[in-house]
Structure 1
Amino acid sequence: MNIAADDIDDDLQTIYLRQWHTLRSHLRRRTGSIEVAEDALQETWLRVAGLSNPPIVRDKRAFLLRIAGNIAIDIIRRERRHQSRCTADENILAAIEDLAPSPEKIAIDRDHLRALVSALMELPEKARTALLMSRCDGLSHREIAARLKVSESMVAKYLAQSLRHCRYAFRALG
């Protein structure tokens, strides 16, 4: 910035008003935010206007830039502190969210359970038992074969038959 001869005799308020656009552009580039730049300019004006005994400054434009820049830094720090203390809306909503299933979800789940029980009851006893031992008890094919006194390949056939039957029953639900 060049110092004009008339700026030397002007007070800080006059130079502020004359250089407002330049200050704003500089602060916007420096902070990356037009809002922060304008807030900093307002606080700068209040500070400059409130000076009862302004200091003797050789480069008043640079002095104003320094004041405005420091204020902008303070605003950014204040916003960061505020944001670190604030809880995001998503966190608040998650904290108060009702995790209980809706009545519709309960009704749908009950329909699925009825369909599963019905499908299981339609299965031959050994196929149903093999499926329950596999899925509910977590037994291996070898363990199921030993308990049912059948071969492991027969267990695989029982499981395939049971799963196919249950899949068809669920497809019929829609």
Structure 2
Amino acid sequence: MNATVPDAYHELISLYLRQWSVLRSRLKRQTGSHELAEDALQETWLRLSRMKGGPIDIRDQHAFILRVASNIAIDLARRENRHGGRCISDEAVLAAIEDACPSPERVVIDRDQLRLLVLALSQLPARPRRALLMNRCDGLTHREIAARLGVSESMVARYLVQALRHCRDHFRDQH
């Protein structure tokens, strides 16, 4: 049976409409996206509608519709992937423009903590204070501190314990 052009076109469109929900499910599985499947369906409809008035000699209309829709879905997914690779997420934009400087609140809190530390250190005897500063600020070992202060390593350990306890208690009393 050799259908005329308008009859073949109407059969093709009719088949597309009958198979629309099955085609949508298949495209959704293929693309992994409901939106891409919908876009592919719409583009398939447009391509099929452009065939009106032209010669239509399609042996298997169902396979033809599937192939057209599948090719469109593949193209859309590729375009989406290329575009997605160039797009920057909102989180990335915010991270890029994030100010590395501390907030005014953080500055006030840190200054207050520093003031408390300076006060606590000023209340320490000279040797425990020097031992703590050499250890924590200069990164010196117990042996190096002992050599500089002219005391034993065990005495350096006692100085550090004394200084750290004093600072801990001072901060605890202030808060």
TM-score (norm 1): 0.90
- Describe the superposition over 1:87-121 as per-residue Cα deviations: whole angstroms up to 9, x where unpaired: 11111111111121111111111110010000001
Q: What does residue 25 of structure 2 align with? A: 25
Is the contact made by 1:24 and 1:38 (CA closer than 8 Å) also made in structure 2? yes
TM-score, normalised with respect to structure 2: 0.90
The question of 1:115 aligning with 2:116 is answered: yes
Deviations 1:29-87 (A, max 9, x none): 22222221111100000000011414311110110000000101111101000000111
* Aligned counterparts, 1:124-163, within 5 A: 124-163=125-164
Question: Unpaired segments of 5 or more residues in structure 2?
Answer: 1-6
Aligned residues: 168
- Which segment drifts farther, 78-87 or 33-42? 33-42
The amino acid across from 1:17 in the alignment is L
Please tell me whether the aligned partners of residues 8 and 58 of structure 1 are also in contact (alpha carbons under 8 angstroms).
no
Question: What SS is found at the alignment partner of 1:56?
Answer: coil
Structure-1 separation of matches of 2:9 and 2:137: 90
- Aligned-pair identity in percent equals 63
User: Is the contact between residue 133 and residue 144 of structure 1 (CA under 8 Å) also seen in structure 2?
Assistant: yes
Alignment root-mean-square deviation, CA: 1.7
Structure 1 runs (4+) deviating above 6 angstroms are: none
Which residue identity lines up with residue 29 of structure 1 in the other structure?
R
Question: What is residue 43 of structure 1 aligned with on the other side?
Answer: 43
Query: Does the 8 Å CA contact 2:9/2:56 hold for their aligned counterparts?
Result: no
